[in-house]
């Protein structure tokens, strides 16, 4: 249930979006007549300076005014072009997650409250913050290891952010429910489910122990990968509100000139970046889902170091196999196979025609084969794919959308390093190897092995399954003989619900009666 506060917050959101010119910047062509009229009225209340800015600037200013939790919401929606549209997702991609720092005294209190020890015991020194984002800020610090000081980075959660985000999330749920009720054609996007995903993602990001666990898992998965690594976690100094990790001395990937001056091979870095991402996705099924330039460094040895693992994505083996088959179908121009995979995976409802869907996929794939590989934009390809799947009522697959959006971001970073970056050529060693191992004879051996393991687990669970089945059978028999019975708690809950509805019904009747009396009085 939405509280009055949620409605008030929704009103505030609408007012900020109007004042910063975001509403007047919406594309009017797909809006109904009443919405276009409302948009023109909203333009009258926009700040004059906002009307002269780009839409992405208006959006960024509005989100920053709304506060840190909306910055995080905006970043999440940037990974969901299926929900907000490709244009707005692109605008949100450039949203800067830079907020004002909070006092070091509050950071010290958060560290001591989370770890149960004083800052002086934990660190040789804790310095002023050097960067602050919507959820946390980072402090340089030093620790003593065998009498030698070692520099570390200390990430501390922003005070009060959890409660603030919970309040703002309530307004998001209100919007998503209104969207499902008032815009039935958008139900396939499952806005309430999207909001649940946002809630879960952010809860994970606000528990820094889980970010540390993601760092640790990626480190294990990529320990033998060429040219890529992540910072080491100091578990002794890590808790819910603080994570301590290795300090990275490196050059941000956004500083292209700095990379050149340091003598790094930009083409090799671009290839390593995309290959690392694909290894994590296809081989491990676990990937960094926020790989923009600000989260990527190059250390003096030329290794790419990724930081900030607050947002990660997972793919099951089944999804990875379907993804590889779809990609392989595009490469080999086997569009019927691509269509079949979509139907086999349940991505497209079965009442649609496979041949018609294959025809739509061909409309996307054929233009690709007529262009030089380095000119093909993955962003454009995915935009076309979203348009086609919308025609065929394809429901949102959050895990695939996050993967696709991350792939677009990674490709964009690679192209800043090498404007003629050939995504397909760079991807082939990883994708081709995975396809050979998982879609060829090795797949049969793997499937048989997994089948045997599943059969063994089923055999071990057979006695418990039999006992539960027998119990369920007895309960059904008792129900058939004695009828359905409620326990006391259930009966009491039903009574309270009925009483509440009765009170509301009586109140509604009194309101209607009072209104009729008022109208009659006016007529007299």
Active site residues: 290
Could you give the C-alpha distances from 238 to 23, 233, 326, in angstroms and in order? Answer: 43, 8, 41
Name beta bridge partners: 132: 137
Farthest CA pair distance, the chain: 94
The Cα–Cα gap between 125 and 57 comes to: 39
- Cα dihedral 316, 322, 327, 328 in deg (nearest 10): 120
CA angle 362, 364, 370 (to 5 degrees): 90
Q: Is the dihedral of CA 301, 302, 308, 310 positive or negative?
A: negative
Q: Would you state the structure tokens that stand for residue 408, as one six-digit string? A: 């677009």
Q: With H, G, I as helix, E, B as strand and everything else as coil, classify residue 318.
A: helix
Pairing of strands 233-239, 228-229: unpaired
Q: Is the dihedral of CA 25, 29, 32, 36 positive or negative?
A: positive
Q: Which long-range contacts (CB under 8 A, 24 or more apart) does 255-258 make?
A: 256/416, 256/417
- 3-state secondary structure string across 291-303: CCHHHEEECCCCC
By the 10 Å C-beta count (0-12 exposed, 13-18 middle, 19+ buried), 30 is classed as exposed
- Cα dihedral 85, 88, 93, 97 in deg (nearest 10): -130
The Cα–Cα gap between 90 and 95 comes to: 9
Size (the chain), residues: 524
């Amino acid at each position: 249930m939405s509280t009055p506060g949620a409605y008030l917050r929704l009103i505030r959101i609408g007012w900020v979006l109007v004042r910063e010119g975001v509403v007047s910047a919406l594309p009017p062509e797909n809006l109904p007549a009443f919405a276009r009229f409302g948009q023109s009225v909203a333009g009258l209340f926009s700040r004059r300076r906002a009307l002269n800015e780009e839409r992405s600037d208006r959006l960024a200013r509005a989100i920053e005014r709304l506060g840190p939790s909306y910055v995080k919401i905006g970043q999440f929606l940037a990974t969901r072009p299926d929900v907000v549209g490709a244009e707005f997702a692109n605008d949100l991609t450039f949203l800067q997650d830079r907020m004002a720092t909070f006092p070091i005294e509050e950071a010290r209190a958060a560290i001591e409250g989370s770890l149960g020890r004083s800052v002086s015991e934990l660190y040789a020194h804790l310095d002023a913050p050097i960067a602050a984002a919507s959820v946390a800020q980072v402090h340089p610090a030093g620790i003593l290891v065998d009498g030698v000081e070692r520099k570390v980075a200390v990430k501390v959660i922003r005070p009060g952010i959890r409660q603030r985000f919970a309040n703002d999330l309530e307004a998001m749920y209100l919007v998503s429910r209104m969207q499902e009720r008032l815009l039935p054609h958008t139900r396939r996007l499952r806005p309430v489910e999207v909001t649940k995903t946002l809630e879960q993602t952010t809860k994970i990001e606000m528990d820094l122990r889980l970010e540390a666990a993601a760092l640790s898992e990626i480190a294990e998965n990529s320990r033998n990968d060429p040219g890529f690594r992540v910072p080491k976690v100091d578990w002794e100094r890590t808790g819910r509100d603080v994570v301590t990790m290795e300090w990275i001395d490196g050059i941000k990937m956004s500083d292209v000139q700095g990379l050149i001056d340091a003598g790094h091979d930009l083409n090799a870095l671009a290839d390593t970046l995309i290959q690392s991402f694909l290894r994590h996705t296809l081989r491990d099924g676990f990937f960094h889902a926020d790989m923009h330039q600000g989260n990527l460094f190059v250390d003096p040895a030329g290794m790419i170091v990724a930081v900030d693992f607050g947002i990660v994505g997972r793919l099951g083996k089944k999804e990875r196999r379907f993804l590889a088959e779809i990609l392989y179908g595009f490469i080999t121009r086997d569009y019927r196979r691509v269509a079949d995979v979509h139907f086999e995976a349940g991505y497209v409802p079965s009442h649609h025609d496979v041949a018609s869907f294959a025809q739509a996929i061909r409309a996307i794939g054929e233009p690709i084969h007529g262009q030089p590989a380095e000119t093909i934009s993955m962003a454009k390809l995915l935009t076309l794919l979203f348009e086609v799947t919308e025609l065929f009522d394809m429901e949102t697959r959050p895990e695939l959308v996050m993967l696709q959006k991350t792939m677009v971001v990674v490709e964009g970073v690679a192209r800043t390093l090498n404007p003629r970056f050939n995504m397909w050529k760079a991807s082939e060693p990883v994708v081709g190897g995975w396809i050979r191992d998982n879609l060829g004879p090795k797949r049969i051996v793997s499937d048989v092995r997994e089948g045997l393991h599943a059969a063994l687990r089923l055999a071990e669970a057979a006695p418990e399954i039999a006992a539960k089945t027998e119990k369920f059978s007895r309960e059904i028999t008792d129900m058939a003989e004695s009828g359905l019975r409620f326990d006391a708690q259930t009966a009491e809950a039903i009574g309270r619900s009925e009483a509440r509805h009765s009170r509301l019904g009586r109140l509604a009747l009194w309101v209607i009666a009072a209104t009729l009396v008022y109208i009659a009085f006016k007529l007299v």
